[in-house]
């Protein structure tokens, strides 16, 4: 396991390692204090009194009004990337963050990562090396980097606010806050965290992200963008999801990714599907912190309480969400290849019939994960539309990750892992199709590099990631060396988290409108690198599986989904069938 990597993509993730940093004399003798007792900077101001805060040394500050509008209210517990973090409870104009200068913070618990709410004020990425102290007296180093609050990437921000305050008034400029996670060695109990020496790095909150012990991811989809809908007022969504692993308990994850405002879930239920929108039996209520509903702040997520409910493997569930307010835009996974349902006005989440569900949906709004109790852990299929299942038969669950899940369920040689499909149609390795902010009709997602933390590392009990991506970069003119550098970074960052990484070769595209001879040359170069590089734990040669032996630049006609880019059902089944399950 690689445990001491300083990662190349600043601000997206950090690294924790076995190398021991030598603490300063002050840090060696310091008593760990809660982060709020170390606050020494004022970042948040009342719009009427902006001079009472100075976040950046030039009088700039965050607006308390816009934070409240985003649902980031004082003292609010936020779940971001699977980590629970408490937003400062300070009043506007009072200290609400600490400038990193080696302070020893009391942070306790066991988990897979440290999580920080941070922002920089240096005008560029800023950070440094700190140390983690463990209950057994040992220590390890970590690297923490924060993007700038004014210039950092919108694609990786936790929340963006529409303006900043200055002593002379508001400035219409989007400012950002970031959630950054740093991997921890497994099983060790954290007792304290020494911050780096980087005074332009501001820390608002820090916690240990709990490991997903006792849970296996059974179903997941990535958020590709923030799309206009409806408007929906007092409507119920009844979403159809197909499980991989089964188990005796269930919980669901809802994400308000990319949003600027909170969304309210009035009620939620789960049921095994009968036919169409009708459940088999009575839907069972889900709870959130003991409540029947939950408000999810902008950029945050909500995970339902564990529920004793038998989830069958390889079966359809109905997850129903009542939206009591008016919703004009939601985070979505755009291409579901699955029909779901929209109810008439009213809370129909517990309905035992399909009568109220007169509308249909072809996307997955808000819902991003279903976990089951027990199980051996999960495999993430990380990719683009080929992984997403474009050109597979709708409502038939014939995407290659579905077929892989069926293969795992039908054997006993290796554990029956859950399989999580994190493909997004149109997604690229190194370029954001969606900017990561605002309402957009482009639902192809931020780049694989920018979504890696959320869509892989924060997934439940993930142990292996299978990467099949790059064709959209090639079709957009990206050179092979840029793609391979991105794939290498994915492997490096995943290995720093203790994950296995399998890379797949890019399948042929001859016959697709923009698949030129130049694109084919670059594809061959990427595939040659994937086949020979040593940066992955294993290689899956999907190109060799689906190409026409008589004409290797095109998909074998019987495997072609009809557009010469996407394999159809037979091709996707052949890809899944070629995976050596022992590699997972």
376-584: CATH number: 3.40.50.1110
Note the Cα 324 to chain centre separation in Å.
26
The dihedral built from the CA positions of residue 165, 167, 172 and 176, taken in this order, carries a sign that is: negative
Within 10 A of 476 (CB to CB), how many other CB atoms are there? 14
pLDDT exceeds 90 at position 169:
yes
* pLDDT above 90 coverage of the chain, percent: 94
pLDDT tens digits along 287-329? 999 999 999 999 999 999 999 999 999 999 999 999 999 999 9
Spell out the domain ranges in the chain. 15-209, 226-366, 376-584
Q: Provide the 3-class DSSP secondary structure of residue 57.
A: coil
pLDDT band with cut points at 50, 70 and 90 for residue 514: very high
CB burial of 152-165 (b: ≥16 within 10 Å; e: otherwise) equals bbbbbbbbbbebbb
Please tell me the distance from the alpha carbon of residue 353 to that of residue 30, in angstroms, as a whole number: 62
Which run of H or E residues covers position 525?
helix 517-532
Residue 261: is its pLDDT beyond 90? yes
Cα–Cα distance measured from residue 540 to residue 502, given in angstroms and rounded to the nearest whole number: 7
- At residue 24, the pLDDT reads 47
Q: Are 184 and 208 in contact (CB under 8 A)?
A: yes
- Summarize the confidence of residues 526-551 as an average pLDDT: 98
Which of the 8 DSSP states describes residue 338?
Answer: S
Q: What is the pLDDT of residues 49-89, one digit of tens each?
A: 999 999 999 999 999 999 999 999 999 999 999 999 999 99
Three-state DSSP state, 514: coil
Q: What is the mean pLDDT of residues 492-514?
A: 97
What is the per-residue pLDDT for 213? 86
Burial degree of 338 (CB within 10 A; 0-12, 13-18, 19+): buried
CA proximity to 558, closest of 569, 394, 520: 569
């Amino acid at each position: 396991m690689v445990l001491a990597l300083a990662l190349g993509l600043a601000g997206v993730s950090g690294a924790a390692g076995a190398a021991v940093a030598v603490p300063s004399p002050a840090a060696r003798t310091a008593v760990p204090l809660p982060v709020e007792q170390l606050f020494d900077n004022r970042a948040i101001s009342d719009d009427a009194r902006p001079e009472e805060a100075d976040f950046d040394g030039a009088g700039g500050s965050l607006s308390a009004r816009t934070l409240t509008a985003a649902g980031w209210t004082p003292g609010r517990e936020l779940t971001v990337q699977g980590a629970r973090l408490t937003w400062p409870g300070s009043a506007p104009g009072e200290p609400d963050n600490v400038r990193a200068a080696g302070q020893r913070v009391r942070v306790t618990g066991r988990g897979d990562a440290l999580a920080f709410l941070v922002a920089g004020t240096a005008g560029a990425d800023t950070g440094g090396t700190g140390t983690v102290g463990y209950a057994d007296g040992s220590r390890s180093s970590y690297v923490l980097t924060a993007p700038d609050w004014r210039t950092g990437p919108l694609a990786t921000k936790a929340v963006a606010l529409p303006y900043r305050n200055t002593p002379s008034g508001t400035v219409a400029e989007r400012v950002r806050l970031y959630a950054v996670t740093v991997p921890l060695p497994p099983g060790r109990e954290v007792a304290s965290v020494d911050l780096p020496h980087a005074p332009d790095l501001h820390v608002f909150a820090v916690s240990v992200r709990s490991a997903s012990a006792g849970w296996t991811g059974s179903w997941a989809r990535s958020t590709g963008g923030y799309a206009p809908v409806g408007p929906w007022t007092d409507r119920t969504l009844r979403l159809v999801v197909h499980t991989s692993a089964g188990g005796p308990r269930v919980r669901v994850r809802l994400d308000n990714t990319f949003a600027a405002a909170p969304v309210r879930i009035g009620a939620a239920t789960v049921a095994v599907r009968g036919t169409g929108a009708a459940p088999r039996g009575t839907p069972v209520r889900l709870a959130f912190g003991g409540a029947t509903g939950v408000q999810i702040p902008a950029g945050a997520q909500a995970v339902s309480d564990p529920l004793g409910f038998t989830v069958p493997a390889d079966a359809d569930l109905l997850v129903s969400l009542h939206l009591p307010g008016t919703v004009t835009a939601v985070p979505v996974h755009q291409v579901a290849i699955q029909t779901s349902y929209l109810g008439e006005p009213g809370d129909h989440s517990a309905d035992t019939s399909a009568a109220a569900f007169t509308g249909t949906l072809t996307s997955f709004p808000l819902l991003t994960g279903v976990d089951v109790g027990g199980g051996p852990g999960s495999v993430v299929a990380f990719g683009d539309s080929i992984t997403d299942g474009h050109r597979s038969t709708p409502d038939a669950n014939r995407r290659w990750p579905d077929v892989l899940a069926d293969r795992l369920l039908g054997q006993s040689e290796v554990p029956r892992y859950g399989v999580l499909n994190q493909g997004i149609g149109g997604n690229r390795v190194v370029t954001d199709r969606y900017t990561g902010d605002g309402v957009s009709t482009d639902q192809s997602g931020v780049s694989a590099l920018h979504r890696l933390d959320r869509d892989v590392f924060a997934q439940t009990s993930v142990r292996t990631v299978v990467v099949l991506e790059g064709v959209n970069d090639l079709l957009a003119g990206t050179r092979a060396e840029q793609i391979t550098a991105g794939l290498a970074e994915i492997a490096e960052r995943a290995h720093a988290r203790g994950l296995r990484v399998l890379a797949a070769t890019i399948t042929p595209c001859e016959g697709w409108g923009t698949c030129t001879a130049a694109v084919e040359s670059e594809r061959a170069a990427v595939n040659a690198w994937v086949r020979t590089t040593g940066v992955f734990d294993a290689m899956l040669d999907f190109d060799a599986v689906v190409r026409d032996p008589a004409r290797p630049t095109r998909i074998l006609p019987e495997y072609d989904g009809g557009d010469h880019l996407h394999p159809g059902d037979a091709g996707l089944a052949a890809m899944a069938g070629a995976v050596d399950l022992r590699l997972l």
